[in-house]
Amino acid sequence: MMKISDLADNTGEWLRGTGPESDIVISSRIRLARNVAKYPFLSRANAKQKKELEELIRTKIEEAEVYPTLNYINLSELSSVDRLFLVERHLISKEHAEGEKERGVAFEKSENISVMVNEEDHIRIQVIRSGLELRETWKTIDDIDNKLERKINYAYSSQFGYLTACPTNVGTGMRASVMLHLPALGMTHHIEKVFNAVMKLGLVVRGLYGEGTQVSGDLYQISNQFTLGKSETEIIEIIEGVIPRITSYERMARKALISESREQLEDRVWRSYGMLKVARMISSEEIMHLLSQVRMGVNLGIINDIKMKTLNELFILTLPGHLQKLEGRELTSSQRNIIRALYVRKRLEKIETLKG
């Protein structure tokens, strides 16, 4: 079995900062909720049924050859830090980390694909890609779903579609979301307008880690709210239709900032970069803000000695679970602030020496 620490050295492919619109669109993600027929949903399943389901789904994932190299991790055997680490990696959800009894996750080495077992639903398939790639992402996840469905009898009704534990997911069982970096719209206070427009289309805006999470680092997730009454491709078309309008709006706001107050903007970006290089303690909230500023600076060509991939990765690598994994022990929040500052400084120094 693989160890969580094997993952700590690198990050998922979806953070590479490639693909269409990747200056603003960090990633595209789709998840499908599926349940096994003739079993209760997890809130009503007893320990024996949970165990049966876990075993059944785990073996079927293997048999279905969903993907040649899937690692399976049993979550009930992991420490809370390891589970937090997997949440930060977007390989499992918060609910899944905090769940009870037998549950697990199968994921592919590049971390593009993960299949959660016994989350809120029996099966949650997830595919993430860098940039705006919802159509490609759908193709991949549709294929995985087809392979699994040959082995597993899903709970399905011709009227309500795929039956899920929560009626907000019933129908397609699909949530498609796009993660956007919108610092200029935030700075110019135009972000509210975007939210209103998006909500009229039946879409919702959330923070970095989905439902109920706060927005930080100017990172927003836009996803569909409805799952019944529209087909998967229709839902994707609605999202793909609105994203380019938001990204061009963000680019316009950036241009306006440059033409109206270039010095101020440059000062902000460079100060943030400087802070990352010299600070001795950085809180998780502060680093999100600093990284966001620097990321925009790189996009605008103000800073050009740091790669997009490095910045995208730092958003994840400096999170509490990652820092504790890196240190190999549990840390208090002030200890984490010290380690975080040290870690970022080292990463940025490496860039300096490479340049020299």
Partner 1 sequence: MKCESCNKKYATVHLTEIVGNVKKERHLCEECAQSVNTQIAKVPSPTEILTNLINQVAPGINELSKIICPVCGLSYLEFRSHGRLGCPMDYTVFRKGLIPLLEKMHGSVQHVGKVPSRAGKELIKKNELMQLRNELNKAIEKEDYERAAELRDKIYEISGDNDENK
**Can you give the binding site for partner 1, defined by CB under 8 A?**
35, 37-41, 43-44, 120, 142, 145-146, 149-150, 153-168, 170-172, 174, 202, 225-232, 234
Report strand pairing: 123-130 vs 25-34.
Answer: antiparallel
CB of 238 to partner 1, least distance (A): 13
* Both structure tokens of 273: 């970069």
For partner 1, give the closer residue by CB, 228 or 252.
228
CB of 86 to partner 1, least distance (A): 23
User: Residue written as tokens 């009704």?
Assistant: 157
For partner 1, give the closer residue by CB, 21 or 120.
120
Phi, psi of 345 (to 5 degrees): -60, -45
Count of positions (residues) in the chain? 356
* Both structure tokens of 288: 């999100």
Report strand pairing: 104-108 vs 70-74.
Answer: antiparallel
CB of 59 to partner 1, least distance (A): 18
CB of 97 to partner 1, least distance (A): 18
Helix axes 232-278, 134-151, angle to 10 degrees: 120
Q: How far apart are CA 349 and CA 92, in angstroms?
A: 32
For partner 1, give the closer residue by CB, 98 or 192.
98
For partner 1, give the closer residue by CB, 174 or 341.
174
For partner 1, give the closer residue by CB, 10 or 153.
153
Phi, psi of 221 (to 5 degrees): -110, 125
Instruction: Determine the Cα angle at 101 with ends 98 and 104, to 5°.
Output: 75
For partner 1, give the closer residue by CB, 13 or 136.
136
User: Residue written as tokens 């059944």?
Assistant: 56
CB of 80 to partner 1, least distance (A): 24
CB of 125 to partner 1, least distance (A): 12
